[in-house]
Structures are given as C-alpha cells and as structure tokens.
Amino acid sequence: MLVSSPKNKGLVQGSALFDDILYWNNKFNNIIYFIYKLRRLRPQTAVILHSYFPYDILSVVLSGCRYIFRDHYGSESQALNPWLTAFSSKFEGHTVQRKLNLLQPLGCDTTAVRMEIPVAIPPGQKPADKIRIGFQLGASRDFRRWPPESFASLADKLMDNHAALDVVLIGGKNELALVDDLMARISPRHRPRVVSLVGKTSLMELASAITTFDTLVTGDTGPLHLAIAQQVRTVSLFVTANPLYTGPNQDLHLHHVFYKPLQSLSPELAASPFPMAAITVDEVFTAVQQSYRRGQDDALAPGNYHYGT
C-alpha cells in the first residue's frame, strides 16, 4: 500500500505495484480522517520515506502499525525515535541508497538503485528535424536557481549556433514570472523559437514533455529526477546542493553534472542572490552541445561530473 501526496497522483494512480493508494497532504487538519482510513487497512509495517515530522510517525503509530522504519533527513528531532523500529543515521552517499538501506533489517535487496516511474508515461511528440532543449528555470528556493540572465544568454547562444534548435520552458504556475523575465532578456529574433509549457501541464503531461527533450538543463529539481528516471539526457547544475546526494545515480553516460561547492566560491559570490552564477554560460553551452550530439550519434560516453573551484 502506498501513501502519497495528492500532487503525485498522476504518477502513481493505477500502477500495478500497489494494491491500495491513500492520498494525504501531510496536514494536521485532516489527520484524523487519514488515521481512520489507515486503521481499516491494519498495516503491520510502515516505511516512511519522505513526509512531515511528527504527523507521519503519530499517524502510523495510531493506526496500530507494529514496525516502523523512517528516513530521517539528519536534522529532525529524535524525540519519537523510541516508536521506531529503525531509522536512518548519518550516511555519506546518495539519497536513494540511504532510503534503500532502511530495508536491510527486512532482508530486502538494497542494491537496486535504479529509479523508475510507477506508471507508463506516453511519449511526447517531436518533429524529427528539430533539436529540443528543455530549461527548468525555477527551483525550490531562489538561491538554488541559475540566474535568469544566464539562461537567456544560453538560449541566444544555442539558437545562434543551431537553426533547428528550439528551447522549451517547463515549470509550475508559480514560475510564470520567470518566463516573462527570460523572454525580456532573449533576443527578439529568437523569441518565436521559445516554447513555454510553464504552468500548462499536469505532472503526467510534464513527464511526457520531458521525453521529447534532447537535453534538459536544470538545477537540483523534480524535473531532473523525472528525466533521469526516463533516460533523458541532462545537464544539471549544483552549487548549494551536492550531486553526491541528489544528482544522477544511474545511466551516467546520459548526464553531465556541474558541481562548484558553495564553500569554494568567493565570499561575495557565495553571499549573492545567485551563487549558481559560478557555473558559466560557456561551460553549460559546451556541455549541452556535447550532450545532444552524443544523443544523435547514440554514443555511450562515460558520465561527466565536473567539480570546479
């Protein structure tokens, strides 16, 4: 049985992997009804992978569950640990592996790190003579975004060099202002070749659109992980996050990762609104070119992790 956020419904509903799916928004105002539904199913074991403390533990305990395994993200209170059968401790490695390690006491195979989407995603349609480069402009926090002027310069440079190349923008409704900012910065002659899907797609439609990209340029975001799970090439940008924990962890020949740790930057840049400006347009331009050309040649080059100072 899966307990999922309602916003992820499109990626799990109808999957053959689950006998039952309960949707809960992790909010206290409907926890009583959620516990009522959970108690009727009488779960014996719960594995908590990503949710809100302390409502997640309380709801599972009150459902009558006997064995509870929880991934602690390293900074949460330990006050409810006595209710847990096992929980994650400090771990230097990828988040997927940390979560899998929770299942070791159950005798599970914890070596299969490959991410997959639980339902079939219909492939999107793309003209055969076009190169489509996706841009994910937003991120969870502004300082985790690549600067808008960098995205605009990259778009101009790519379209100057490739007449058959279009740029496709993706993101949520709360990122519409970023589209306006980008379009104002891009050369007027290139604007007709920029397609914005920002705020226009469901999660399923977003996943489908990503399948049409020759390469996706993004920070550490949800669309990055959707692309990885669907074997879509990416150029990902890390400064305030560490790809060791949340970067590509499979099919490394498809992914080019830039990592310039925050502590390696000058104090002025590290404290600026956009420390990710440390990753230059020229660097990303070269990586994008290499990425989609390898895709066109179907070459299996080794993965490219770039650690800059």
Q: Specify the DSSP class assigned to residue 50.
A: S
CB atoms within 10 A of CB 15: 13
Which one, of 236, 239, 307, 224, lies nearest residue 272 by Cα?
239
Which tens digits make up the pLDDT trace of 25-67? 888 888 999 999 999 988 999 999 988 899 999 999 999 999 9
Q: What predicted TM-score, i.e. pTM, was given to this entire model?
A: 0.92
Joined tokens for residue 107: 């005798």
- Cβ(45)–Cβ(86) under 8 Å? no
Q: Domain 131-307 carries which CATH code?
A: 3.40.50.2000
Which one, of 50, 26, 25, 21, lies nearest residue 38 by Cα?
21
> Residue 94 and residue 58: Cα distance in Å, rounded?
27
Domain range list for the chain: 2-106, 131-307
Q: What is the pLDDT along the chain (309 residues), one digit of tens a residue?
A: 999 999 999 999 999 999 999 999 888 888 999 999 999 988 999 999 988 899 999 999 999 999 999 998 767 788 999 999 999 988 899 999 999 999 999 999 999 999 999 999 999 998 888 999 999 999 999 999 999 999 999 999 999 999 999 999 999 999 999 999 999 999 999 999 999 999 999 999 999 999 999 999 999 999 999 999 999 999 999 999 999 999 999 999 999 999 999 999 999 999 999 999 999 999 999 999 999 888 766 544 444 555 543
Burial-class residue 38 by CB neighbours within 10 Å (0-12, 13-18, 19+). Answer: buried
C-alpha distances out from residue 172 to 65, 119, 215, Å? 36, 21, 19
